[in-house]
């Protein structure tokens, strides 16, 4: 079996390394668009303490402690300048995206998987002729690759503006901070992901963004936002990555996960709003499902049919959870007058009308790891 994985992010890397472990004789290579050093984003939060939680990609590394993961047990919601401290329920694991991706790449290379960087785009015909299976894990960059029409993405943009900053201020809890000024409401999501850095994601409505005249000068924006969150940041500044300015969150969805020799995993299949922090977890679970179905079925077509049947309902539930959460944040201004306790209750209840995502994830993982 000759497999090409397109995109060396968490989804493609977990798939490649786990597939190679399950089928050592298969030839697996990875094509990455960027340079080896270029990994976008600051830190992310993952479930559980590695190696105990199989949805945490650190659990697949021999020495996860070398990545300096930060364990978070408390959630802090700040509104009207008052903190409300709660348990996160499960231990959360903050980690730097760059070191995570590089460690997963090193694991693939050690297993005999070739990763080519700055790979030029190939056509559908070239890919079909060259490989038995093409695993598309190129994230939300759906226009960077030609795919069969059946795998065309549905694209939906969120109404809020957001920006992903890093900061040297260390947030020991998962922080959700609501701060208002004369231009409107700003919401900060902050947690530490290394011994020296925290993620600081800020979102606001389009109206507030326009009133605050954001988006013209990156330095001014960082100073403006740092001032809005001065009680949290103190003298610490906010740092943005080149090319990672203000965006509207992009949700990429599909009704089908595979067609012919092509199969989608990770964000390329379904992306979900950062406020539920499950994108990487989903990438791991869906990659494991694909490894399982390819190992369990005698022919690739049957394996992909089985993968479709299992992965699509799971990612659709993820989409519903992510969209419900995104919508809650997009309408947060309507709840600005609530007390801290009432806002916390509303935040907690925002996904209660949906079947639990955790149960579905654990059921899928249980099936996938029973190989």
Ligand X SMILES: Cc1cc2nc3c(=O)[nH]c(=O)nc-3n(C[C@H](O)[C@H](O)[C@H](O)COP(=O)(O)OP(=O)(O)OC[C@H]3O[C@@H](n4cnc5c(N)ncnc54)[C@H](O)[C@@H]3O)c2cc1C
Positions in the binding site for ligand X (CB under 6 A): 6-12, 31-34, 41, 44-46, 119, 121, 137-139, 141, 144-145, 164, 201, 266-268, 274, 277-281, 283
Cα–Cα distances in angstroms (integers) from residue 361 to residues 143, 270, 288, 313, in the given order: 28, 14, 11, 11
Q: How far is the CB of 130 from ligand X (least distance, A)?
A: 14
Nearest distance from C-beta of residue 272 to ligand X, angstroms: 7
Instruction: Specify whether the CB–CB gap between 197 and 43 falls below 8 A.
Output: yes
Comparing CB distances to ligand X, the nearer of 54 and 139 is: 139
Q: Which is nearer to ligand X, 64 or 266 (CB)?
A: 266
Query: 15 vs 178, which CB is nearer to ligand X?
Result: 15
Q: Based on CB atoms, which residue is closest to ligand X, 137 or 208?
A: 137
Looking at beta carbons only, is 90 or 301 nearer to ligand X? 90
Q: How far apart are CA 253 and CA 316, in angstroms?
A: 8
- Decide if 187 contacts 225 (C-beta within 8 A): no
Determine contact, residues 4/127, Cβ cutoff 8 Å.
yes
Smallest gap from residue 39 Cβ to ligand X (A) = 7
Spell out the long-range contacts of 365-370 with Cβ–Cβ below 8 A and sequence spacing 24 or more: 365/54, 365/55, 365/285, 365/288, 367/289, 367/292, 367/310, 368/285, 368/288, 368/289, 368/291, 368/292, 369/54, 369/288, 369/292, 370/292
Closer to ligand X by CB, 145 or 185: give it. Answer: 145
Question: What minimum distance in Å lies between the beta carbon of 98 and ligand X?
Answer: 11
Residue with Cβ nearer ligand X (201 or 210): 201
Min CB(366)–ligand X separation in Å: 20
Calculate Rg over the CA atoms of the chain.
Answer: 21
Burial 52-73 (b: 16+ CB within 10 A, else e): ebbbbbbbbbeebeebbbbebe
Residue with tokens 């030029």: 120
Least gap, CB of 62 to ligand X (angstroms): 21
Q: How far is the CB of 202 from ligand X (least distance, A)?
A: 10
Strands 27-31 and 114-116: parallel
Q: What CA–CA distance (Å, rounded) separates 213 from 191?
A: 27
Between residues 9 and 303, which has the closer beta carbon with respect to ligand X? 9
Q: At what angle do helices 279-296 and 300-330 cross, to 10 degrees?
A: 170
Q: What is the smallest separation between the CB atom of 339 and ligand X, expressed in angstroms? A: 28
What minimum distance in Å lies between the beta carbon of 278 and ligand X? 5
Q: How far apart are CA 6 and CA 145, in angstroms?
A: 9
Q: Which two tokens stand for residue 49?
A: 């303490």
Nearer to ligand X, 166 or 266 (CB): 266
Please count the helices (runs of H) and the strands (runs of E) in the chain. Answer: 10, 15
Angle at which helices 97-110 and 10-22 cross, to 10°: 30
């Amino acid at each position: 079996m000759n497999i090409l994985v397109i995109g060396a992010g968490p989804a493609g890397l977990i798939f490649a390394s786990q597939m190679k472990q399950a089928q050592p004789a298969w030839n697996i290579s990875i094509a990455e668009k960027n340079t080896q050093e270029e990994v976008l984003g600051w830190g992310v939060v993952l479930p559980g303490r590695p190696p105990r939680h199989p949805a945490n990609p650190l659990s697949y590394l021999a020495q996860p402690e070398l990545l300096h993961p930060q364990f978070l047990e408390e959630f802090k919601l700040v509104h009207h300048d008052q903190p409300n401290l709660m348990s996160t329920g499960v231990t959360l694991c903050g980690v730097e995206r760059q070191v995570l991706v590089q460690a997963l790449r090193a694991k693939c290379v050690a297993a005999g998987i070739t990763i080519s960087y700055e790979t030029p785009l190939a056509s559908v015909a070239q890919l079909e002729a060259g490989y038995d299976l093409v695993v598309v894990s190129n994230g939300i960059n759906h226009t960077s690759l030609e795919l069969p029409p059946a795998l065309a993405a549905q694209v939906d943009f969120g109404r809020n503006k957001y920006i992903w900053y890093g900061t040297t201020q260390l947030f020991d809890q998962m922080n959700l901070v609501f701060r208002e000024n004369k231009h409107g409401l700003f919401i900060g999501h902050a947690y530490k992901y290394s011994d020296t850095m925290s993620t600081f994601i800020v979102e606001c409505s389009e109206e507030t963004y326009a009133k605050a005249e954001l988006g013209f000068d990156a330095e001014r924006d960082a100073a403006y936002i740092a001032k809005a969150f001065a009680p949290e940041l103190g003298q610490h500044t906010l740092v943005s990555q080149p090319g990672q300015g203000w965006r509207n969150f992009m949700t990429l969805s599909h009704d089908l996960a595979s067609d012919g020799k092509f199969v989608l995993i990770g964000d390329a299949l379904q992306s979900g709003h950062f406020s539920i922090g499950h994108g990487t977890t989903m990438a791991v679970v869906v990659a494991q499902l694909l490894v399982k179905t390819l190992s369990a079925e005698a022919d690739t077509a049957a394996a992909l049919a089985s993968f479709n049947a299992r992965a699509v309902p799971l990612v659709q539930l993820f989409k519903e959870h992510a969209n419900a959460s995104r919508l809650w944040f997009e309408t947060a201004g309507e709840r600005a007058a609530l007390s801290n306790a009432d806002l916390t209750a509303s935040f907690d209840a925002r996904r209660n009308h949906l079947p639990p995502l955790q149960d579905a994830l654990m059921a899928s993982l249980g099936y996938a790891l029973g190989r």
